[in-house]
Amino acid sequence: MINKTKNANHYLYEQVAHQIMSLIEEGILRPGERIPSVRKFSSRHNVSISTVLQAYYLLEDRGVIEARPQSGYYVRNCIRELPPEPKISYPPLSASRVRIEDLFMKIFETLSRPDIIQFGLASPHPDLLPSKRLNRTLGTILRRGNFAGNSYGEVRGYQPLRHQISRRALDWGCRFSDNDLLITFGCAEAVNLCLRAVARPGDTIAVESPTYFGLLQIIENLNMKVVEIATDPKDGISPEALEAVIRKRKVKACLLMPTFHNPLGSFMPEENKKRVVKLLAHYEIPLIEDDVYGDLYYGMERPRPMKALDKHGLVLLCGSFSKILAPGYRVGWVAPGRFTERVLRLKISNTVTTATLPQMAIAEMMQNGGYDHYLRKVRKAYATQAQVTTQAIKKYFPAGTKVTRPTGGFLLWVELPKSVDAMVLYQKALAQKISIVPGHIFSARQQYRNFIRISCGQQWSAELEQGLATLGQLAKKIVVGTKKIGDSVLTCTHD
Amino acid sequence: MINKTKNANHYLYEQVAHQIMSLIEEGILRPGERIPSVRKFSSRHNVSISTVLQAYYLLEDRGVIEARPQSGYYVRNCIRELPPEPKISYPPLSASRVRIEDLFMKIFETLSRPDIIQFGLASPHPDLLPSKRLNRTLGTILRRGNFAGNSYGEVRGYQPLRHQISRRALDWGCRFSDNDLLITFGCAEAVNLCLRAVARPGDTIAVESPTYFGLLQIIENLNMKVVEIATDPKDGISPEALEAVIRKRKVKACLLMPTFHNPLGSFMPEENKKRVVKLLAHYEIPLIEDDVYGDLYYGMERPRPMKALDKHGLVLLCGSFSKILAPGYRVGWVAPGRFTERVLRLKISNTVTTATLPQMAIAEMMQNGGYDHYLRKVRKAYATQAQVTTQAIKKYFPAGTKVTRPTGGFLLWVELPKSVDAMVLYQKALAQKISIVPGHIFSARQQYRNFIRISCGQQWSAELEQGLATLGQLAKKIVVGTKKIGDSVLTCTHD
């Protein structure tokens, strides 16, 4: 029977999920086998049907089980081959200036080299973009003799695009009007404007640890500080850790990616989201929510952003089409809640308006169903690619390697044995024309030195498998090398 | 005979020009009449031929005389109808926070309303943009099946576009390589990045007085201060005034528009440019040079930016295609000299890369001659429109109204009698569906209360003339009204 005592981080349905996972890991339930029906599990373990359902959805989201129509839930075929997951992080509690930019620039330059196998760039491979359809759509718009794209557009952005976004947002539980929404040059501009709207140089911003280096770089360049919060690779930021930090020091704003976090792929359970939104409302701390991967869920439903839980206009929700339709279009958006007027002014000051033609093409793709059609295709593709890549890592990487199990997006966070310095691996890989991103730049103080981020935003191929095999060999050599010389300076910063 | 004693601001050829102007203004030389030949003037007044030539070029640039092939120079037909010009400004010497944003937002909202006669927006009217050709060019690019526009492009910007710009810059005396150049989202982003690269919140930036409210707003939003420098509506910023301020207080950077200033249309004489560049080099003060109107010269040659005189990499030259090809494309650029690496990092942090497709279309327009072809046409159009608009102002506005005489761009700066509060005029005009920009927002402390900026970026029409007639009537009514009630609180801040 399930232990009903709740503690802060473990909810009932997670315990159910955990129990099923144990059955699978111990081989009691084997890949391809049917797991107990919801009704049966519910009555046998004396928990409600809705709790069991939640647990099964969670396991499905995590790629552990799959639903077969009119038949029930089955253990997925590949489940036993998955490597273990990294554990929750414990970053230092103090705030610090970000100092990753020099390193970032060095790494960034290699990210767009076409002669390189790209596990580095967190961007869909061109082959996976709906470029033909986008080009055709834009061509049609141009042939209509519409010249609206050449003059300054509305400062809030192209109205039909805003309308498409706000209409869709209803499905995720967010109610905002077209005028509560601004179009920006990608999510990067949106985050810049939001940070400038709610904080000033010297202020402290709370972020997940690790977190996307692009966000850290924005904070660095705005001369703000970060405080990193303990984050679970599965469930995202720890509400307790966040609360502890907020009680201890002045946190001016939070900048979080609750849905398919970069690099963790973590996805905050609804209960945690509620707790964090409530906590921040209590302290009147704005939350900048980066939701760029939200549409790329592997499960059945588009996850609700934290914005959907916000009653006080304190959540500034940022999205983008860069991870989905066309990174080169540079179209993002923001629903800044009570900060809309301030963000609008900063937008005008920063870039006046957003280029109109790319917005027109995207709006049309959304209107005519092309966007949804493409999403269905690409979400499946990423789910598969994440799994195949994980299996290859299991196969080729040194013993002790751990990998996250994202339920959306296309990024994997890989923890290597402590003796592997990711910068050394990065250099050696680059010499073999393979790019990865070393863990150092995912933290203001360059922690995560034995971690790398692997992007699976491209179609699986023999070349990719060979690339991972080479990477694994290089990592293994470093392990052996450090063992030989008894080097113990390279440590995991999760300690 | 010409007095050869030079002082700082009046050079020999300007004195020659001034003498010719006097002859015209006194009616000794009449519209349509031939002026003395260069040779004759030179020998009669004992000045060199090159000096006289310079003077004649200057007068030609200012639309006072015109060259007729194989015949010499003639007084232009409309010259005697020009109203007088405003005088040099004398802003306060202290630095101040900018506080124009609330007012700016109020005015900005009316600038894109289609139901309004637009003398407000400093942007070419859609009818004057080469939109058909741009659309065709972009369509061709799309049909080639090139998908490069959809993925992230190079972080510095589309290389063929950078090449076109750096090649052209050679003609203006600027030597920079393709890699010394970054493409940005319009000039606004370029100026933002440059300011952030060379200064910090709280630092003081020297600007012309008056100056473009968009620049003031950027400074305001970056929490920097401005110090306004005395500026001549013809010759631009006063080098002496700038030097006096620099000696007295810490100026972190200059942000100037030496070529066809917005709103003055002023154009700094080469000697002044040299003095300022030398002065700033001496104090190691970076100069951000906003050159967005540089291509829109009425004269024979593209003016050289101050960047061409810079030997120390201290000038950050910013340009844009927004005033020329397509505001809605949001394509600008910057050659940041010794600050290139810093600006590049800020660019990546601000918006990652610039959208690729608009850059491709512009590069192609430049390569295939479409850009030059269009420029030739539009430069003539703006020269004519500026003149016709000036004449209409002379005809319809209250006695005592003064107007600048730009030699490039499409903006006029109009000084009304002191009793006319431009905000009142703005409100009354808006009620009649006419937009202007009141002088208040062209200065950090809302000076220039009896000035307005009039844009002539649209083809002359009966509707425009009627609009100016209405404006003039409204202004006259205000003059009469204030005389009646003996109101003396409305004063000109040029005092």
> What pLDDT digit, counting tens, does each position of A409-449 carry?
999 999 999 999 999 999 999 999 999 999 999 999 888 99
What are the DSSP E strand ranges found in B401-440? 402-403, 411-415, 434-435, 437-438
CATH of the domain at B77: 1.10.10.10
Contacts from A41-46 at CB under 8 Å and sequence distance 24+?
A41/A16, A45/A1, A45/A2, A45/A16, A45/A19, A46/A1, A46/A2
Confidence category of residue A11, pLDDT binned at 50, 70, 90? low
Question: What would the mean pLDDT of A76-100 be, rounded to a whole number?
Answer: 79
Higher-confidence residue of B456 and A8: namely B456
- Mark which residues 144-183 of A lie under 8 Å from B by CB: 145, 147-155
- Beta strand B437-438 pairing with A411-415: unpaired
- Return the pLDDT at B79: 54
Contact predicate B298/B384, CB 8 Å: no
Quick one: which of B345, B298, B337, B297 has its CA closest to B318? B337
pLDDT higher than threshold 60 for residue A44: yes
Residue A390: CB atoms within 10 A of its CB come to 23
Domain identity same for A385 and A318: no
Domain identity same for A183 and A143: yes
Domain identity same for A58 and A155: no
- Return the pLDDT at A32: 79
Preceding amide of A263 cis, omega within 30? yes
Domain identity same for A49 and A116: no
Domain contains B5: no
- Mark which residues 308-337 of B lie under 8 Å from A by CB: 325-330
To test the contact with chain B by mutation, choose from A144, A330, A343, A441 the residue with the greatest count of B C-beta atoms within 10 A, namely A330
Contact B112 A152 (CB under 8 A): yes
What are the DSSP E strand ranges found in B187-286? 204-209, 225-232, 236-237, 253-256
- Return the pLDDT at B476: 97
Domain identity same for A301 and A197: yes
Q: Please report, for chain B, how many H helices and E strands are present, in that order.
A: 15, 17
pTM of this structure = 0.84
> Among B327, B346, B370, which residue terminates a domain?
B370
Domain identity same for A457 and A320: no
CA distance A167 to A335: 13
Query: Residue A182: helix, strand or coil by DSSP?
Result: strand
Quick one: which of A385, A388, A361, A94 has its CA closest to A250? A94
Half-sphere exposure (CA, 13 Å, Cβ side) for A251?
A: 31
* Cα radius of gyration (chain B): 22
Contact B147 A138 (CB under 8 A): no
CA distance B133 to B365: 8
Domain identity same for A77 and A213: no
Ranges of chain B whose pLDDT falls below 70: 1-11, 25-27, 78-81, 111-112, 484-495
> Residue A54 corresponds to which amino acid?
Q
Domain contains A230: yes
Domain identity same for B145 and B109: no
- Return the pLDDT at A78: 63
Per-residue model confidence as pLDDT tens digits over B34-85: 888 888 888 888 888 888 988 898 888 777 888 888 888 988 876 546 788 8
Contacts with A108 from chain B: Cβ below 8 Å: 155, 348
> Among A301, A336, A370, which residue terminates a domain?
A370
Domain contains B1: no
> Residue B55 corresponds to which amino acid?
A
CA distance B111 to B1: 51
Domain identity same for A365 and A395: no
Domain identity same for A176 and A254: yes
Quick one: which of A29, A114, A113, A105 has its CA closest to A72? A29
Chain B residue with the nearest C-alpha to that of A213: B349
Domain contains A4: no
Residue B5: CB atoms within 10 A of its CB come to 8
To test the contact with chain B by mutation, choose from A323, A349, A374 the residue with the greatest count of B C-beta atoms within 10 A, namely A349
> Any chain B CB within 8 A of the CB of A123?
yes
Å between B148 CA and nearest CA of chain A:
8
Domain contains A113: yes
Domain contains A87: no
Chain B residue with the nearest C-alpha to that of A344: B105
Domain identity same for B358 and B243: yes
Domain identity same for B43 and B156: no
Q: How far, in Å, are A481, B18, B72, B303 from residue B11 at the CA level?
A: 75, 10, 24, 18
Per-residue model confidence as pLDDT tens digits over A352-364: 999 999 999 999 9
- Beta strand A65-68 pairing with A72-75: antiparallel
Contact A145 B135 (CB under 8 A): yes
pLDDT higher than threshold 60 for residue A10: no
Structure tokens at A335: 């629903």
Contacts with B214 from chain A: Cβ below 8 Å: 349, 352
Structure tokens at B120: 């407000």
pLDDT higher than threshold 50 for residue A490: no
CATH of the domain at A249: 3.40.640.10
pLDDT higher than threshold 70 for residue A6: no
**Number of separate domains in chain B:** 3
Residue A428: CB atoms within 10 A of its CB come to 17
Contacts with A154 from chain B: Cβ below 8 Å: 112
Query: Residue B229: helix, strand or coil by DSSP?
Result: strand
Instruction: Give the least confident one: A30-34, A291-295, A313-317, A379-383.
Output: A30-34
CATH of the domain at A465: 3.90.1150.10
Domain contains A491: no
- Return the pLDDT at B209: 96
- Return the pLDDT at A26: 61
To test the contact with chain A by mutation, choose from B352, B365, B441 the residue with the greatest count of A C-beta atoms within 10 A, namely B352
Contact predicate A276/A315, CB 8 Å: no
Show the CA angle centred on residue A178, arms to residues A172 and A184, nearest 5°.
Answer: 90
CA distance B494 to B486: 21
Residue B109's domain comprises: 97-126+375-484
Structure tokens at A161: 């695009």
Phi-psi region of B225 (alpha: psi -120 to 50; beta: other; left: phi over 0): beta
- Mark which residues 201-220 of B lie under 8 Å from A by CB: 201, 214, 217-218, 220
Both ends of chain B: CA-CA distance in Å?
34
Domain contains A202: yes
Q: How far, in Å, are A103, A364, B286 from residue B143 at the CA level?
A: 40, 18, 44
To test the contact with chain A by mutation, choose from B113, B152, B333, B364 the residue with the greatest count of A C-beta atoms within 10 A, namely B152
Contact B108 A348 (CB under 8 A): yes
CA distance B31 to B65: 9
Percentage, residues of chain A above pLDDT 70: 94
Structure tokens at A103: 């390193």
Percentage, residues of chain A above pLDDT 90: 65
Å between B218 CA and nearest CA of chain A:
5
Contacts with A131 from chain B: Cβ below 8 Å: 147, 150
Q: Which of A136, A151, A217 minimises the CB distance to B328?
A: A151
> Among B313, B348, B370, which residue terminates a domain?
B370
Q: Which residues pair with A204 in a beta bridge?
A: A225
